[in-house]
Structure 1
């Protein structure tokens, strides 16, 4: 197997996303870079996704929103920003706003969030998959966003979309409509969210997404769980069709898993997936809220999920730190070392909107040839 090299993000058919795992899958090892990642004064940040350009510059796309608006204002006030660094682990510096608010008449006009950046090997274009939100109430501007009914209205409008550019600096061309919409009466009737894509050499695209069986308020009193689906298209622009018409794609032993935050990549003929559990899997000793790892040859049949990250992380100094939880993992395969894993860490300050992007480097046992 090989590591690093040409793969930048998730180049579909490339075997350069492979690591020598000695034919075993074990716990990922990581070193936490507390002075890396992304922090922007006055803003909460979320969901860093990184791609390397042809000059060796690293470009992170992440969501931000004013910290004074509180933790829940991502749904009303998030925008996707572009940041750069000469080092994969950062720190990343703000270069500009990639997808700003553009008006409530657009499907993504009031909030853009959860980016996943990929280089299209068939065109060389930079591709941003993301979620867009719109709503008809006044956007919060000077106080914490606490209106629950408004939150639910905005949340219900979440849709997956795509934007493309010849350069990570833009300009970005945004799709007129979402690339994937909910299906009334199905398991994914509420939203299409948290996209993660693999683009093959011919431009064909596999898209994983999160959804749930009903929007607010129904999803609350029915106690529904998030699931992960898959869709495919001949290009990043679609049209996308569901890989499975009868249910979610992420299953184990015939049961759809309660999950969110998928990150998928391909190594040869095998697909690899990191995701966050949204329910326990007692037979595997997995709890809700953990980042786990699984593989599949066809995005239909998955291996037994295994814990990918413990909550106690090792710093580059050799000391350790325990985080409350890790979310929205995304990988960067950029050199001959193990991949850089970008995740979101909660250090106990989430109620005050103190989100941090952190970087865990040196993951091992990721891919089996």
Structure 2
């Protein structure tokens, strides 16, 4: 269901960037997906052969867990469709069901069309254990949800686990590998992944860092690049990779508020896709309150994060090869009986 708050239609454009200006601007449109009795999280878009916008959405029942932890216990990937990027979006079917056991709680889907195939990547775990997270890759020729494991994957579709090479950056990852994003760049297929890694063995907490696995073939197999691709001085979460102007970009949550509050996001840039320098990283978007105003959130229900509406799990819709729409999830909602939901923004390239 697509519901726009009339009070939220200020269409504020994000102009807050640190140091150098951000290359992209984001204009708030409204809510993308919410479903009664469900928590809705990341919504990943792709244009189908029918010309419609298809969203692959992480969701789980509100009633099964007392808190937000259903994301790694009871999640499924649902397929929604709309005539326009702005919606409305209607539920079609469950694309990937929760199977419990060793293929548990499919979550954080990201979909791309590459080389004429649709590629759906997501994470699963084993028996609700976060330390067992791994990445699945499915492929299909259409969007009927007749998904098959990638040719280079394990039989169940597992395309990437944490590295078994002691010299690789995420060999000692605390929570496996998660939150994939796939892009084709300079003839290579780059599968970005997050790991939580302690900077030193004695450190109390791990840092949220991104790496990349590389393949010469779309369907793999993929091999970990040995070095991390983001600096541990700037932690990030939910990075989405896309190509623009012969560079690779990551659009991510600013996990620890490196360039603003942790409710907003960052835009990273790299020529080769193997290292994203802090000096080329700008503030991208803010929390939801920045766009809709504090008064609109006065009666909000908070399921995750803060009342100002942390925006997370960035997913981009490209049109004619250029980023055109951004979908973000937030853990707040003002609609009774509905859990977390996702929102849509128009993307504009800043005039130089």
TM-score normalised by structure 2 residue count: 0.77
Q: How far apart, CA to CA, are the structure 1 residues paired with 2:235 and 2:58?
A: 25
Retained in 2: the 8 A contact 1:187–1:212? Answer: no
Superposed displacement of residue 169, structure 1: 1.6
Give the corresponding residue for 1:8.
none
Q: How far did residue 313 of structure 1 move? A: 4.0
Q: Give 1:200 deviation, angstroms.
A: 5.0
TM-superposed deviation, 1:272: 1.3
SS at match of 2:73: helix
Q: 2:94 aligns with which of 71, 91, 97?
A: 97
For 2:29, the equivalent position in structure 1 comes to 33
1:234-284 deviations in Å (ceiling 9; x for gaps): 2232111223x1x31113xxx553211111111242111111122343xxx
- Inter-partner Cα distance in structure 2 for 1:220 and 1:259: 22
> 1 CA distance for matches of 2:196 and 2:169?
6
CA contact under 8 A between 2:120 and 2:139: conserved in structure 1? yes
RMSD over equivalenced CA pairs, Å: 3.1
| Cα distance in 2 for residues equivalent to 1:154 and 1:220 | 23
Distance 1:55 1:320 in 2: 36
Q: Any conservation in 1 of the 2:244–2:322 contact (CA below 8 Å)?
A: no
Q: Partners in 2 of 1:296 and 1:201 — Cα distance? A: 12
CA displacement at 1:59 relative to structure 2? 0.5
Partner-residue secondary structure (3-state), 1:30: strand
Please, which runs of 5 or more residues in structure 2 have no aligned partner? 1-19, 298-306
Aligned length: 304
Q: Is 1:178 aligned with 2:155?
A: no
Distance in 1 (alpha carbons) for counterparts of 2:179 and 2:97 = 18
1:261 aligns with 2:238: yes
Structure with the larger strand share: 2
The question of whether the paired residues in 1 share the 8 Å contact of 2:333 and 2:340 is answered with: no
TM-score, normalised relative to structure 1: 0.73
Q: What residue is the counterpart of 1:235 in the other structure?
A: 217
RCO comparison, higher one (Cα < 8 Å, 6+): 1
More divergent stretch after superposition (126-135 vs 231-240)? 231-240
Q: Distance in 2 between matches of 1:335 and 1:77?
A: 36
Tell me how far 1:201 sits from its aligned partner: 8.6
Seen in structure 2, the aligned counterparts of structure 1 residues 201 and 117 have a Cα distance that, compared at 3 Å, is: farther
Matched residue, 1:73: 70
CA shift in 2, pair 1:268/1:306, >3 Å: closer
Q: Which of the residues 118, 126, 129 maps onto 1:154?
A: 129
Unpaired runs of 5+ in structure 1? 1-23, 136-152
